[in-house]
Amino acid sequence: MYRIGRIPGGFAKWPASIFYGWWVVIAVSALYTFTSGIYWYGFSFYFLPIRGDLSLSYTYMSLALGLGRLVGGLQGPLAGYLIDRLGPRLMITVGGALAGLAFILLAQVSSYPTFLLVYLGLMVIGFAGGFDLGIISLANRWFVRRKAQAMSLLWVGLSLGQALIVPVVVLMIEDMGWRDTATISGVALLVLLAPAFLVIRNSPEDIGLTPDGQRTVSVPFIGPRARPEKAKRAGGDVDPQVTADPPSGQQEVEFTARQGFRSASYWLLSLALAIQIAASAGLLVHFAPIMDWKGQSAATAALLMSINGFAAIPMYLILGLAGDRWPKRKVASYGMVLGGISLGVLAFSSSQFWQLLVFILLYTVAYSTSVVAWAFAGELLGRKAFATLLGGITMMYSFTSATTPILVGWIFDSTGSFLGALLLLAILFIVAGLLFWKIPRPKLSGSQVK
């Protein structure tokens, strides 16, 4: 059975029993699968060949990747504002197109300055701005009651990229070189953007639906193409900031950007996420070099990342359900502390594969709780100004996540070992978990509670 749904830009058919928001999330999750494989996780395997071709030290290469985190975060507030104003659909398309072009141009670089220009000027801006923030904002816009489950599907896409795309990227780099691999990756990304663009819509209100597919009367969402008229409930007019009756008794919060920036809860959330992401960045950027330090080949490193990806898929789904059932803040805190423990295991493990396997499985459980952390951020901040507020968070974590890759590279150049760096990253994970535990619920006025 199909329903004909009139949506901006034409008609679309989808099974009547399935809320259209799930198709939106599936579409962007498929994009995430590919981009995580070629960039978020796969780009670590470009580290050694690019470093060798351009004759760079670990510090200089780490500096480039660290600056990438900084540039990506600094554009966050502007990208978030544009997403709230123009809609995530447009920003995802523009960001993805810039990133695809960057991969094609990356294959042509022949010096450190040109590498920085392509990497920082196009690739980072494309991925970390409109593309990444837009995808997270979409899931937050389409769901309230099932927010963690929707976020978990995005992270399933990331894990599939680790499990399926990263090994292919590694084989291609070893077989045909990193330059041809970059060209093919860029062209493929540009091709994949078109079908995703046809499915994605900015919000449920754009096509006459409500978050989660609830059968409630709602006020048009304040965003691109939203209808300006007020909706009515029995008993009179509604404040236009109130979007819908809260599903299953859950209160939906709607911060304006100004209210969010004035909230202590927002800044503690930002700090906790900034520290946790910084620790992850220090590990992710140097994952292949760390495995090399442990005496493992690039193929073994790719295998471990693939195991991480496959194991994370059920964990994301389980934790997505758990996050909608139990306090998201506490679930995320436990995971961050476990992340610190996993890095301690890696730091003191030998080169035996089974010990590295223990590390990657512990880290998988820990990292999978990030879906609950971001769902908690969406629950705490609401939908209307989420991208703008998320942009502020990315600006904060850009400074921390730019520092750790550089610091890890410098520690290795100075000591010839990653031991001290791994212990530092482990401490950061634990600190982030303790901070997340302390995030208070903001005191809300009547106009902020939906």
Region 223-233 average pLDDT: 41
When pLDDT is cut at 50, 70 and 90, the band that residue 264 belongs to is confident
Contacting residues for 215 by C-beta, under 8 A, at least 6 apart:
none
12 φ, ψ to 5°?
-140, 145
Region 90-96 average pLDDT: 92
Question: Measuring CA to CA, how many Å separate 434 from each of 275, 397, 439?
Answer: 11, 17, 9
When pLDDT is cut at 50, 70 and 90, the band that residue 82 belongs to is confident
pLDDT for 351 equals 78
Give the residue with greater pLDDT, 17 vs 307.
307
Region 259-267 average pLDDT: 83
Region 236-256 average pLDDT: 45
Segment among 335-339, 366-370, 412-416, 420-424 with least mean pLDDT: 366-370
pTM of the model: 0.67
How many C-alpha atoms does 13 have within 13 Å on its Cβ side? 2
152 φ, ψ to 5°?
-65, -35
Checking if the pLDDT of 236 tops 70, the result is no
- The most confident of the ranges 103-117, 222-236, 312-326, 404-418 is 103-117
pLDDT for 443 equals 62
pLDDT for 439 equals 85
10 φ, ψ to 5°?
145, -160
Checking if the pLDDT of 225 tops 90, the result is no
Q: For residues 383 and 244, give the distance between their C-alpha atoms in angstroms, rounded to a whole number.
A: 12
pLDDT for 444 equals 54
Q: For residues 362 and 345, give the distance between their C-alpha atoms in angstroms, rounded to a whole number.
A: 9
Whether the CB-CB separation of 89 and 197 falls below 8 Å is answered with: yes
**Quick check: helix, strand or coil at residue 43?**
helix
pLDDT for 153 equals 85
Checking if the pLDDT of 61 tops 70, the result is yes
Segment among 109-118, 251-260, 384-393 with least mean pLDDT: 251-260
- The most confident of the ranges 150-159, 318-327, 365-374, 408-417 is 408-417
Q: For residues 128 and 389, give the distance between their C-alpha atoms in angstroms, rounded to a whole number.
A: 15
Domains and CATH numbers, the chain: 16-204+253-444 (1.20.1250.20)
Q: For residues 291 and 135, give the distance between their C-alpha atoms in angstroms, rounded to a whole number.
A: 31
pLDDT for 254 equals 65
- The most confident of the ranges 315-319, 322-326, 378-382 is 315-319
Q: For residues 371 and 154, give the distance between their C-alpha atoms in angstroms, rounded to a whole number.
A: 8
Q: For residues 101 and 111, give the distance between their C-alpha atoms in angstroms, rounded to a whole number.
A: 18
Give the residue with greater pLDDT, 187 vs 80.
187
For the chain, helix, strand, coil in percent to 5 are 75, 5, 20
Checking if the pLDDT of 12 tops 60, the result is no
When pLDDT is cut at 50, 70 and 90, the band that residue 361 belongs to is very high
pLDDT for 14 equals 53
Give the residue with greater pLDDT, 152 vs 39.
39
Quote the tokens at residue 404.
């750790």
Whether the CB-CB separation of 263 and 391 falls below 8 Å is answered with: no
Which among 439, 148, 408, 385 is positioned nearest to 272, based on CA atoms? 439
| Residue showing tokens 């960045």 | 281
Whether the CB-CB separation of 88 and 141 falls below 8 Å is answered with: yes
Region 224-251 average pLDDT: 39
Checking if the pLDDT of 224 tops 70, the result is no
pLDDT for 405 equals 83
pLDDT for 169 equals 93
pLDDT digits (tens, 9 = 90+) for 276-305: 888 988 898 788 889 989 988 888 888 888
| Chain-centroid distance, C-alpha 343 | 21
Please give the single-letter amino acid code of residue 335: G
Under DSSP, the state recorded for 218 is: -
Region 395-418 average pLDDT: 85
What proportion of the chain, given as a percentage, has pLDDT over 90?
A: 27
How many C-alpha atoms does 282 have within 13 Å on its Cβ side? 32
Which among 156, 184, 153, 154 is positioned nearest to 169, based on CA atoms? 184
Please give the single-letter amino acid code of residue 41: Y
Quote the tokens at residue 280.
């992850």
